[in-house]
Structure 1
Amino acid sequence: MSSSPLLVFDFDGVLVDGMAEYWWSARRAALRLRPDLQLPVSAPPGFAQLRPLIHKGWEMVLLAAELGRDDHRLSDTLADYGGALDRALERWEWQPSQLQEVLELVRREAIATDRSAWLALHRPYPGVPERLRALRGEAADWAVLTTKGAAFAAELLSAEGLEPWQLFGHEQGPKPEVLLQLRSLNRPIWFIEDRRPTLEQVRATPGLTSVRCFLVSWGYVRAADLTGLPPGIALLRPERFAAPLATWP
């Protein structure tokens, strides 16, 4: 068994801030399906409030359409997010796979027609590219595990000159399943994420109790998520992230 850790990073909200692109793409995808929608060019405040709850890309498209409804109640969506998604899918008569397909089509077209403009809608979090490059000096490998399409994450990593050991997109399946597959490497696995429910799901998955889980304090995390963390999930602040791995919680 190798003693050097494999650091597995979530992408959006951990390595890259893509909030501007999320609305840009979600809005265009929603308008492809319903050209009659009245959606602002800039993201409405409600979208930022919902972002910490979003798990998969198709949800963004659905929420963009919901925010375009005159009778949409943001408080209801925040209070019962899962139920709100189910009701919205029924209301619009859409399927998650349909929404995901349109979202990825919009992104592919954006990259093909004006890659630099699409890339400019994202920004790496301060110090993140430098820290990832420094991991080599600590004999640690790093991978990316994201619900974004792998091709789009690869475009953004390439633009920053970053080369992960491996990149897993939504095409490879749910995050716990990918982490279970990585167990065969027989090395310590550290999972870094900004979505507390995902970390809690990992901790509850049989076979993943040895995975060290970290919740970053930046990204799209909610303030309430940073307190009262359960055993097995450690808070990772920027100053600790920048420090040697041996000092991490």
Structure 2
Amino acid sequence: MAHSPPSLLALDFDGVLCNGLREYFQTSWRVYRQIWPEQSLTLSLEEMEWKFGQLRPVITVGWEMPLLLRAILEGTPSQEILQDWPKVRDRLLVAYHLSATDLGERVDSSRDRWIQTDWQSWLALHDFYDGVVAALQRWQAQGQPLAIVTTKEQRFVAYLLEQADLFFPPEAIYGKEQQQPKTNILKALQSTYGAPLWFVEDRLGALLQVAATPELEATELFLATWGYTTAGDRAQAEAHPRIHLLSLEEFCQFPHWLSP
């Protein structure tokens, strides 16, 4: 059975379109040194970056990243972080008298200063996944409605897209400023564009929330297996009746994702 293209293709940004893992680590490290300047290191920077990359799938919002580094350097077992990150995160917030608001401001201001003083080095730490830029340009040329739904700040997303010669109107980028769960944003998009939406995300938790939302039962859900996922995420998604596993090669072949 052939499937018609969706009314709207909604895409996460980090881990779906763009790999910013190197920038995440560097920004997190800068903020970490602000908060814990005197702490001795138990790992080399290379070892920290490797572990940070392995554990990045637990992060849902950028302010958590310096706390992930703190958990790593305190020797928190990786399995504990993967299985119960919210508990680990909240314990660190209390132990060091920190808040999500303060950490978020530190992360954003660190990025701002970096872009203002050396934007080329900041930009060089971001890589659009192979084939993604050409695919987005092709879909736009074909008139396929697109939206980006992300927890990253809209201005950072818009800047990176512009540098890649991709132009999305501001109203097509739904960033952290929305201060709403992705389910609410998707419901609003569905009311504008109609059903069915297709939604591509690399965070399993976000897809499960959509799958549990009755108003979005017509939405097709895709887990980006090339993004910040774990083997456990992929296995759970594969067993879920609503979620499709999607490879990067398949992603670039839109709209044939559901072809038999």
TM-score, with length taken from structure 1: 0.92
Distance of 1:80 and 1:237 partners within structure 2: 27
Gaps of 5+ in 1: none
Question: What is the aligned partner in structure 1 of residue 204 from structure 2?
Answer: 196
Question: What is the aligned partner in structure 2 of residue 50 from structure 1?
Answer: 55
Greater displacement, 52-61 / 236-245: 236-245
Cα distance 1:235–1:75, how it changes in 2: closer, same or farther (>3 A)? closer
Aligned identity (percent) is: 37
Given the alignment, which residue of 225, 243, 249 partners 2:253? 243
Secondary structure of the equivalent of 2:216?
coil
Q: Residue 137 of structure 1: CA displacement?
A: 4.2
Greater displacement, 11-20 / 203-212: 203-212
Secondary structure of the equivalent of 2:228?
coil
Cα distance 1:206–1:38, how it changes in 2: closer, same or farther (>3 A)? farther
Q: Residue 219 of structure 1: CA displacement?
A: 1.3
Question: What is the aligned partner in structure 1 of residue 122 from structure 2?
Answer: 118
Contact 1:9 1:143 in 2 (8 A): yes
Distance of 1:171 and 1:186 partners within structure 2: 22
Question: What is the aligned partner in structure 2 of residue 129 from structure 1?
Answer: 133
1:154-233 alignment runs, 5 A limit: 154-165=158-169, 166-172=172-178, 173-187=180-194, 188-227=196-235, 228-233=238-243
Distance of 1:100 and 1:220 partners within structure 2: 20
Q: Residue 58 of structure 1: CA displacement?
A: 0.9
Q: Residue 73 of structure 1: CA displacement?
A: 3.2
Q: Residue 244 of structure 1: CA displacement?
A: 4.0
Equivalent pairs, count: 246
Contact 1:25 1:103 in 2 (8 A): yes
Given the alignment, which residue of 136, 143, 148 partners 1:139? 143
Gaps of 5+ in 2: none
Q: CA RMSD in A?
A: 1.9
Q: Residue 84 of structure 1: CA displacement?
A: 0.9
- The superposition leaves residues 150-192 of structure 1 with CA deviations (integer Å, 9 ceiling, x where unpaired) of 1111111111011225111111122111111112213331111
Distance of 1:248 and 1:164 partners within structure 2: 23
Contact 2:200 2:224 in 1 (8 A): yes
TM-score, with length taken from structure 2: 0.88
* 1:81 to 2:85 alignment: yes
Greater displacement, 155-164 / 73-82: 73-82
Secondary structure of the equivalent of 1:126?
coil
Contact 1:4 1:139 in 2 (8 A): no
Q: Residue 241 of structure 1: CA displacement?
A: 1.5
Given the alignment, which residue of 11, 14, 17 partners 1:12? 14
Greater displacement, 221-230 / 53-62: 221-230
- Give 1:146's aligned amino acid: T
Distance of 1:240 and 1:75 partners within structure 2: 31
Distance of 2:93 and 2:140 partners within structure 1: 45
Q: Residue 64 of structure 1: CA displacement?
A: 1.7
Greater displacement, 230-239 / 31-40: 31-40
Cα distance 1:133–1:68, how it changes in 2: closer, same or farther (>3 A)? same
Q: Residue 45 of structure 1: CA displacement?
A: 2.8
Greater displacement, 50-59 / 37-46: 37-46
Contact 1:24 1:41 in 2 (8 A): no
